[in-house]
Chain A
Amino acid sequence: MRKTLLLLISVHLLLARAGAQELGANYNENIGQPITEIQMLRNSGISWVRGFINVHSEFLTVENNVITGVDEDAIRSYSLSRQFMAAKASLGDGVKFMLSLKIPFGEDDGLVPEVGSEACEHVYTAVRLLLESFDMGKNISLLVMGNEPMWENWNADLQDDDAQDYKAFLNEFADRIAQWKKEEGWTFEVFAGSLNRISEVPRPTIQAVMDVVNENPNVDGLDLHLHCFNVNQAENDLRLARETYHVTKKLICTEFSMVRKLEGEGGTNHRTENIGSWGTSHGYSSTMKLWEYLDMAVQNASAGNPVGYDEFASLFESFSWYPDNWFSTFYKAFKKYDTYAITGRFSVVPNSDIYNFAPTYTADTRLWELGAVYVPKLLGFYDDGTYVPNPLVYPDFIAAKNGMPVEKVIEGQREALIVLGNGIASPADFTVKVWQDGQQKELLLGDGYVLLTGLTPATSYSVSIENGAGDAVWTRSITTSPVQGQFPLLKYTDAGGYTYVRVENLPDDAVSCRLAADGKEISPVMETAGWNVLTAEITYSDGSVETISTEKQY
């Protein structure tokens, strides 16, 4: 529906809690997987991809539990980094990448290395080399220092997690990263975390990480993991972070699940529960166990005869213990506490050892897979090769996505594209406001999206969308990318039904720039995807014309 939005640029105080809650895909250590399912990621409309690398085990040399050096060759040749960055190159600017640094110190002599020690320097050196490899630092948008340190630094023998040394380590780490960013021109945000189950786990490291987030200006936010037993624990943790620990910076959640509930932690192991009368009404034995059904589902999917989506859904509807619509409950909490981005388990593919799972189910198999959005391992593929979604998560995921006022934000150097989501049904009833140095400006915009132009590179803007009553329904800080290259670069991005085209690194003597697709002039945001060759013609003040052309990559 073609509507026109009026853009007002005015003084805006960012007080409203109507954050982005952008959806993403989490891969944990399997950062080589995204490149294998690029089309699924594009189709899903997610805005983030997240994974972690275990810096300690992959890149540090350790002797007698002491970090003694850095394996530079391992870093420079790490194929998973290459694959992760290949996925970023394929997905382009429409999908941002997060990298978590898993650095478990719990088995090290002395636990967390002291700042200034050789061991500590080795860790920092390894991370810097990692960020330099495969242009990682240039291409990620967010880096998390740490992964569940309240577990990973905990030494059961010592009953200690060395929180104060970890606080010093993180502060120095954040300051070092800020310096590297300045030297290299990297622009990613830096978060600390991730902290898991903060409302349940009384570990000193939690306070240490919170202090770093709140006090260090080089840290942009906090990463939480919400692996809950009760569905309300998600909100408990988020509320605790905001209201007790007083975190005002950005919150992200890079892992979340109800796996503890699904497995019946501390009580009945639901995996060994009979499927009962549901089984007999669906042609199975009533004494079939849940794990046996799941194992059968995997085998059937592998044989090309998967169980049906509706059958799978109805099985879990029959269980009184199953937390219906847990994803929606979590998402409401994410919205309530202004969570910037959330990355859930995206897919579970067959015949792989992702997440270190066995290819089949036993009574002890962790139920992580039931939290994924797509589960071809359990429910197979459609005829076109796309993954069958998980009825336990997918409807809630789609509802969350469809309720979003903004589907995507793509920040250029002098422009930013905001693609509206289905959460704004009547765009004419809404107003976009941008804080831009106290100046007001009116712009006419295209339908279904907002293209902010005339921006300054490497600058942050506060943007909000307000309804007719003046209530903000969406707020976000947008940061334009810096000018990093010496020469003009033609960029195009798949942006939720649009293709967004622009030229970056335009020099000061560029007078005009004309864009064309297959020879026909286009505007920067075009709806059609059916083009083969994009061209930019840049006219300079000396009258010369530079032509840049590129073929479609996807």
Chain B
Amino acid sequence: MSAAMLLFASGCADEKKPDASFGGFYTAGSDAVGFYAPGGLDSFVEGYGVQVCTNPGRLTFRLQDSGQSRYVHVEFSSAPSEVSDRVTAEVTARGVDFVGERLELEAVKVEDGKVWLSSGTVNMIIPAL
């Protein structure tokens, strides 16, 4: 069992564990809003110089740096709010290659106003929309 799986097993006993078909979830212990490549090999997260953009009415979430040389804009098919919610995301990105263009995601954790979403190719933590 991976470290990520152990994390969820120990801290989230009442929540559904990540579906193995989505590759688990690994953020190197971070709960920063953003995008995470599998195995923690790359990430684009909130923080110094990165802007967080949300539009609940349009179901969009975006991270961008201060010059928009890097950004990831995601439009969801619906607002994930509970564990096991499944959503589709259309992605527009620049300078962040690991995210892809269309994702099928499942909510694996909901806590502190954030939603953890997992797919087979990229995972993300977003503010609740």
Residues of A in contact with B (beta carbons under 8 Å apart): 89, 92, 135, 138-139, 484-491, 505, 540, 542-551, 553
Residue of A nearest to B95 (CB): A135
Can you report 19 A-B residue pairs in the complex whose CB atoms are below 8 A from each other?
A: A89-B49, A92-B66, A135-B67, A139-B67, A484-B68, A487-B53, A487-B71, A490-B51, A491-B66, A540-B57, A540-B58, A542-B58, A544-B56, A545-B57, A546-B60, A549-B53, A550-B66, A551-B48, A553-B66
A550 to B68, CA, bound (A): 13
Prevailing SS type, chain A contact patch: mixed
CB pair A486–B51 under 8 Å, yes or no, is no
B21 neighbours in A (Cβ, 8 Å): none
Using A546-B60, A551-B48 as known contacts, say yes or no to A487 and B55 having CB atoms under 8 A apart. no
A271 to B48, CA, bound (A): 49
CB pair A546–B64 under 8 Å, yes or no, is no
A549 neighbours in B (Cβ, 8 Å): 51-53
A486 neighbours in B (Cβ, 8 Å): 73, 92
A488 neighbours in B (Cβ, 8 Å): 53
CB pair B69–A135 under 8 Å, yes or no, is yes
Nearest CB of chain A from residue B72's CB, rounded to whole Å: 10
A491 to B68, CA, bound (A): 11
B54 at the interface (CB under 8 A from A): yes
CB pair B69–A548 under 8 Å, yes or no, is no
A249 to B71, CA, bound (A): 39
Chain A CB count within 10 A is highest, among B51, B58, B66, B73, for B51
A485 to B50, CA, bound (A): 16
Residue of B nearest to A88 (CB): B67
B64 neighbours in A (Cβ, 8 Å): 487, 489
A489 to B49, CA, bound (A): 12
A546 to B55, CA, bound (A): 4
B86 at the interface (CB under 8 A from A): no
Residue from B48, B60, B69 in contact with A553 in the complex, judged by beta carbons closer than 8 Å: B48
Q: Would you give the 0/1 interface string for B62-95, flagging 1 where the beta carbon is closer than 8 Å to chain A? A: 1010111101010000000000000000001000
In chain B between 13 and 63, which residues have their CB closer than 8 angstroms to a CB of chain A?
47-58, 60, 62
Residue of A nearest to B73 (CB): A487
A551 to B58, CA, bound (A): 24
Residue of B nearest to A542 (CB): B57
B51 neighbours in A (Cβ, 8 Å): 489-490, 548-550
A135 to B60, CA, bound (A): 27
CB pair A553–B49 under 8 Å, yes or no, is yes
Nearest CB of chain A from residue B38's CB, rounded to whole Å: 26
Residue from A138, A542, A547, A553 in contact with B54 in the complex, judged by beta carbons closer than 8 Å: A547
CB pair B67–A89 under 8 Å, yes or no, is yes
Nearest CB of chain A from residue B76's CB, rounded to whole Å: 13
A94 to B92, CA, bound (A): 30
A357 to B91, CA, bound (A): 51
A485 neighbours in B (Cβ, 8 Å): 68
A540 to B55, CA, bound (A): 10
Chain A CB count within 10 A is highest, among B58, B66, B67, B71, for B67
Residue of B nearest to A552 (CB): B48
B56 neighbours in A (Cβ, 8 Å): 544-545
A542 to B56, CA, bound (A): 12
Residue of B nearest to A488 (CB): B53
A551 to B73, CA, bound (A): 19
A487 neighbours in B (Cβ, 8 Å): 53, 62, 64, 68, 71, 73
A360 to B25, CA, bound (A): 57
CB pair A547–B53 under 8 Å, yes or no, is yes
A546 neighbours in B (Cβ, 8 Å): 53-55, 58, 60
Nearest CB of chain B from residue A492's CB, rounded to whole Å: 9
Residue of A nearest to B69 (CB): A135
Additional 5 contacts, C-beta under 8 A, given A547-B54, A547-B55: A89-B66, A489-B51, A544-B55, A546-B53, A550-B49
